[in-house]
Structure 1
Amino acid sequence: MKRNVKKFGVILLTSLLALSIAACSTSGSDQTQEGTTADGKTTEGAKLTNLSYWVSMHSAAAAQMKTYAEMGMYKELEKITGVKVDFEHPPSDAAQAKEQFNLMMVSEKLPDVIETSWIGYPGGPEKAIQDNKIIKLNDYIDQYAPNLKKLLTDHPDWKKQVTTDDGNMYMFPFFRGGDKVRVFYGPAVRKDWLDKLGLTVPTTIDEWHEVLTAFKDKDPNGNGKADEIPLYITLDDVALDAPFLGAWGINYGFYQDGGKVKFGPTQPEYKEFLTTMNKWYQEGLIDKDFAAPNSKLFDAKMTGNQLGAALVYNGGGIGKYANLMKDKDPNFNLVAAEYPVLKKGDKQMWGQKDFATNGIGAAISTSNKNPIETVKWLDYAYGEQGDLLFNYGKEGEAYSMVNGVPTFLPEVLNPPSGVSLQQSFAKHNRSTWSAPFVLSENFQMQYLALDNQKDALSIWSHPTGERKMPLVTPTNDESSQFASIMTDINTYKDEMFLKFIMGAEPLDNFDKYVKKIETMGIEDALKIQQAALERFNKR
């Protein structure tokens, strides 16, 4: 939620903070800061001039720069604070990045700042603190981070989401400031193909079957070839808030129903979903390559006029392909579709909607010799000037103030053909993915420049999300048991997901599949999740 830029006291505080950081950080300054390392030793005379910062690099940035240090906002932040950041980026491949993270976390020397999804750390963020990898931030935030402290005071529900069950703060979080920035992904369909075939945007599973069949059989791309791919849906898509699967009221993992935790892939409804997907696959309605997703191949199919429907992001999908296709095919029209239900009038319970935070944030490692100054540096993002810098970039280079509202420059909002809007923004800021700051709704409404994107925001916002689990974490004692159980179960359920849909495993064996998951310890995992949910509700 965009905070009021007219609050003089906050502006003054932020201005003083910026001067303080610059004075304490700039090379040649006589001012020093007394800090405390993780082992309790005082660091007298420490000046923050350099930071090592580990963070995965988004593809929109990687397409045009080697490091985030080349991004407009970070170049400007260095000028403001005097702090030079040496970014360490893992490989873009998710598996390789995870492997590098794991190797890094067992080393003796860690980067000063580590930005990742700490909810995914084995045992959760509290375990990372107790493993002596990152520092507890409660006192630091209370004393040296006035901007974040005020934000958490004003939004206690946000604070609940970024605090461990033990009451500890552990990161400078990424926050989505309002509902308009929390919905950004969902089903999309080629409206120009629908119009050509005299069809409407589908809303139920049966209507989707009718539309996909028409896409396959009636040559909507008009090239005289049977090369249309009706639907592109992957395991990753299904795992992200259950598109299509949600029509049966469940998801691909743990969910809550009336306060009771359940596991979607063992429910009877899951078999019904698999039966439907198997039928669609056998009929040629699902991309034959769905088991081996490839983003470049997906781009080629979409821009090659082959895909009829897919799960896409609003900016990195609807907006991206509209821009890429505006000269190539002026009729191209990718629009959002409702998350499907089984029957007309059914409640949409499942759809993508982030919490205020997604668990991603910047933690300070125990190797950091200047934690106090690092806290001040990170806190800058949550002040008024930092809010502008992180959401938009450098004034005059990326945006200007129009009637008191930060507004992107025309050359940023209208990149040349072949360059997506997300890539255009990535030259200046990280607002189209995540970083430790508060994402502004004003930014979002400029990012969603097209009517199709604004419509998508409305359409994809309809599901209630009432069964979604909050970002719970196990205790230290529960962690290793839960990880051991779920590592094996997740591997098995993913393998069987593909086998059931592709027909390699008969659906008659579904009960055997459920029994095997039960023997692997799912009941113990459910108990752990139930306890974690109850602890979260008591935070």
Structure 2
Amino acid sequence: MVKATKFATKTVALVSILALLVAGCSGNSGDNGKNGTNGGSDTAGGFNKEGLPIVNEPVTLDVLTVRWGNMGDSFTKNAWLQELEKNSNVKINWQVMSSNDWGEQKSVMLASGELPDVIFGNLAFGDSDIINNLNYFRPLDEYIDQYMPNLKAAMEETPEMRKISTFPDGKIYSLPARLPSRPVSANQPVINKAWLDKLGLKAPETVDELYQVFKAFKEQDPNGNGKKDEIPFSNSGDIEMQLLTSFGITNLRGNNMMIKDGKPEYFPISEEYKEGLKWVHQLYAEGLIDPETFTQDNTMLSAKRQNPDAPLIGFSYQWTPDAVFGQWSGQYETIAPIAGPDGKRYQEGDPNGLSFRRNEVLITSFNEHPEVTARWIDQFYTGEASIQNFWGAIGTAIEKGDDGTYSLMAPPDGISADAWYWDNSLRDFGPKYASPAFEKNIKLDTSTGDGLKMELDKLGKEHVTEPFPEVMFTAEEYQELPTLTTDINSYILSTRAQWVTQGGIDENWDAYVKQLNDMGLQKLLKIYEDAYNRYMKAE
């Protein structure tokens, strides 16, 4: 079995890769689960189909997971994980990778043709990685049916769990998660309340009112330092897209698709997109949007947000208002979505909740104990297991009340709640299922962290637009998508930047749409529509 040190190899000679590929193809089970639940050797080693321990004699599994940056492996000390290891007799050799260099490591691993027993978390392998390497991963339908009663019940109670996990061939290769206590709204509008109060203004409710507030922020010195250094609006990412939310345009999946009136719509060629960009250009032309919008990096933006002498930014879109502004965080508050020209409010998010994940667990075809592994994974799909792998163990990060409720404990001094949860748990990654009924027993502090976000969600949840669903593409579609999207998306971004900074959208609109069609837009839309139709037909 390949170990962590081997996975971390930075350079591999081509001859070594080829040798490993041959060895991997001939020296492992390699049947991609074609033999069903008879593909492993579990029944010969004291395997128990029910109850604990899962096996009478210890079995060790190599489990790889990818974490953000330099988060490390502190989560492995989670008391629930350690208790499961003791009670199940399944020992885990955790192989923790950093997202910083995972792309290179992943390529080497896939080229070598040899993988660990289990992959945890959707940072490791995406849809295309799986679909293009199906022989590396076991189909899991039979394992779910025979060895995973918790997940099976979750899929019956919440059909979306099965729907998002079903691949175009009708099989399930990776397992999903439903995270606990997740909001419906994504990033929400955040404004400097201290500036509003000083200028005698109320929080804006429409795009016209927002324009007037931006003008006041720019011209009336709300930070009180005697300088005209206020920036009415600045943020990271495609901030022009954030402003287009008021025009009913959201892009939760990052693919320029959304659902409008029950049908898929490609919004970069919509009238709302066109009219919205005219408004954004007006803001830019009058100096109401950060002039460094298209050139600044996160370091520059962070310096503005946390300027030591005075707050500089009046408005942005954030997960919570205390997320990024440092010492000035107390001046900011989240407000309701800004109504557009049609009088309606729109909020980016998902009416079904931002709780569903797929590709959270894969059992590889190199795994010699698939039944044991399936039963081990199934232990994660209970309410108590899920919250302990999202926030931390009961007694460490969670307090269980005599009335059956669960409350989050305060983090140690000097540590943010979010950082503490990541240290104590798998957090966003790995298998989980917190049912709607179980969530009612979770008590969150509404002044901070996840509890604060759930409270702020009340401002936006009724206005959330319907995003394009988390569809899957076929191997053939994945071959075409990069060619189409690379050129098309680049052209859309460049024209959008030009129209925001220089204007001219009316004069150039027809030529823009024609150019997109010449670049293969209709073929791209056909791929999206086919994937959408498959998704909607899935059970």
TM-score, normalisation: structure 2: 0.78
Q: Does 1:280 align with 2:283?
A: yes
Q: 8 Å contact 1:247–1:350 — kept in the other structure? A: no
**Equivalent position of 2:425 in the other structure:** 429
Matched length: 478
How far is the alpha carbon of 1:258 from its aligned partner? 3.4
Amino acid at match of 1:53: L
Distance 2:284 2:350 in 1: 24
Amino acid at match of 1:269: E
**Equivalent position of 1:513 in the other structure:** 512
Query: CA deviation digits over 1:205-258, x for unaligned, max 9?
Result: 2222222222222222222222322212344566xxx63323223345112333
Amino acid at match of 1:173: P
Summarize the Cα distance change of 1:481–1:299 in structure 2 as closer, same or farther, 3 Å threshold. Answer: same
Distance 1:295 1:530 in 2: 35
Distance 2:359 2:517 in 1: 32
Query: CA deviation digits over 1:33-87, x for unaligned, max 9?
Result: x9997464543667532323132x236xx46x45643566655554554523323
Q: 8 Å contact 1:117–1:359 — kept in the other structure? A: no
How far is the alpha carbon of 1:483 from its aligned partner? 3.5
**Equivalent position of 2:14 in the other structure:** none
How far is the alpha carbon of 1:137 from its aligned partner? 0.8
SS in 1 for 2:136: coil
Q: 8 Å contact 1:67–1:87 — kept in the other structure? A: no
Which deviates more from structure 2 when the two are superposed, residues 67-76 or residues 134-143?
A: 67-76
**Equivalent position of 1:54 in the other structure:** 65
Amino acid at match of 2:188: G
SS in 2 for 1:359: strand
Distance 1:287 1:267 in 2: 26
How far is the alpha carbon of 1:452 from its aligned partner? 6.0
Distance 1:119 1:58 in 2: 14
Q: 8 Å contact 1:359–1:471 — kept in the other structure? A: no
**Equivalent position of 1:407 in the other structure:** 407
Match of residue 301, structure 1, among 297, 301, 304: 304
Amino acid at match of 1:339: P
SS in 2 for 1:387: helix
Q: 8 Å contact 1:69–1:87 — kept in the other structure? A: no
Distance 2:383 2:505 in 1: 58
How far is the alpha carbon of 1:406 from its aligned partner? 1.9
**Equivalent position of 1:135 in the other structure:** 138
Distance 1:366 1:287 in 2: 51
Amino acid at match of 1:456: L
Summarize the Cα distance change of 1:118–1:526 in structure 2 as closer, same or farther, 3 Å threshold. Answer: farther
Match of residue 152, structure 2, among 145, 149, 152: 149
Amino acid at match of 1:112: D
Summarize the Cα distance change of 1:454–1:135 in structure 2 as closer, same or farther, 3 Å threshold. Answer: closer
Distance 2:125 2:534 in 1: 15
Summarize the Cα distance change of 1:280–1:141 in structure 2 as closer, same or farther, 3 Å threshold. Answer: same
How far is the alpha carbon of 1:458 from its aligned partner? 0.4
SS in 1 for 2:528: helix
**Equivalent position of 1:228 in the other structure:** 230
**Equivalent position of 1:121 in the other structure:** 127
Gaps of 5+ in 2: 1-28, 46-57
Q: Please list, as runs of the form range in 1=range in 2, the aligned pairs for 1:130-279 lying within 5 A after superposition.
A: 131-176=134-179, 181-236=183-238, 243-252=242-251, 253-279=256-282
Summarize the Cα distance change of 1:510–1:145 in structure 2 as closer, same or farther, 3 Å threshold. Answer: same
**Equivalent position of 1:416 in the other structure:** 413
SS in 1 for 2:330: coil
Amino acid at match of 1:312: Q
Summarize the Cα distance change of 1:42–1:438 in structure 2 as closer, same or farther, 3 Å threshold. Answer: closer
Distance 2:416 2:441 in 1: 16
Q: 8 Å contact 2:391–2:425 — kept in the other structure? A: yes
Q: Please list, as runs of the form range in 1=range in 2, the aligned pairs for 1:309-458 lying within 5 A after superposition.
A: 309-314=315-320, 318-320=321-323, 324-325=326-327, 332-343=330-341, 345-348=343-346, 350-351=348-349, 354=353, 356-403=355-402, 404-410=404-410, 412=411, 415-417=412-414, 419-431=415-427, 433-439=428-434, 441=439, 446=444, 448-450=446-448, 453-458=453-458
Distance 1:490 1:153 in 2: 38
Query: CA deviation digits over 1:78-114, x for unaligned, max 9?
Result: 455452332332333xxx6445444543431123333
Amino acid at match of 1:195: D
Query: CA deviation digits over 1:366-402, x for unaligned, max 9?
Result: 3333322222222111125423421342222222222
Summarize the Cα distance change of 1:507–1:377 in structure 2 as closer, same or farther, 3 Å threshold. Answer: farther
How far is the alpha carbon of 1:188 from its aligned partner? 1.2
Q: Please list, as runs of the form range in 1=range in 2, the aligned pairs for 1:14-25 lying within 5 A after superposition.
A: none
SS in 2 for 1:526: helix
Summarize the Cα distance change of 1:454–1:359 in structure 2 as closer, same or farther, 3 Å threshold. Answer: closer
Summarize the Cα distance change of 1:472–1:191 in structure 2 as closer, same or farther, 3 Å threshold. Answer: same
Q: 8 Å contact 2:61–2:93 — kept in the other structure? A: yes
Amino acid at match of 2:417: L
Amino acid at match of 2:138: I
Distance 1:302 1:430 in 2: 30
Q: 8 Å contact 1:205–1:244 — kept in the other structure? A: no
Distance 2:377 2:142 in 1: 15
Query: CA deviation digits over 1:462-488, x for unaligned, max 9?
Result: 21424x221122333333223321232
Q: 8 Å contact 1:76–1:394 — kept in the other structure? A: no
Amino acid at match of 1:416: D
Distance 2:195 2:221 in 1: 9
**Equivalent position of 2:9 in the other structure:** none
Query: CA deviation digits over 1:114-163, x for unaligned, max 9?
Result: 332699533x85x246x313221101111111111111112223322322
Q: 8 Å contact 2:446–2:453 — kept in the other structure? A: yes
Summarize the Cα distance change of 1:36–1:270 in structure 2 as closer, same or farther, 3 Å threshold. Answer: closer
Match of residue 69, structure 1, among 76, 82, 87: 76
TM-score, normalisation: structure 1: 0.78
Gaps of 5+ in 1: 1-33
SS in 1 for 2:135: coil
SS in 2 for 1:172: strand
Distance 2:490 2:457 in 1: 33
Q: Please list, as runs of the form range in 1=range in 2, the aligned pairs for 1:28-39 lying within 5 A after superposition.
A: 38=33
Distance 1:98 1:35 in 2: 24
Q: 8 Å contact 1:37–1:368 — kept in the other structure? A: no
Distance 2:492 2:463 in 1: 26
Amino acid at match of 1:90: S
Distance 1:72 1:184 in 2: 31
Amino acid at match of 2:332: L
How far is the alpha carbon of 1:297 from its aligned partner? 4.3
Q: 8 Å contact 1:35–1:370 — kept in the other structure? A: no
Summarize the Cα distance change of 1:524–1:344 in structure 2 as closer, same or farther, 3 Å threshold. Answer: closer
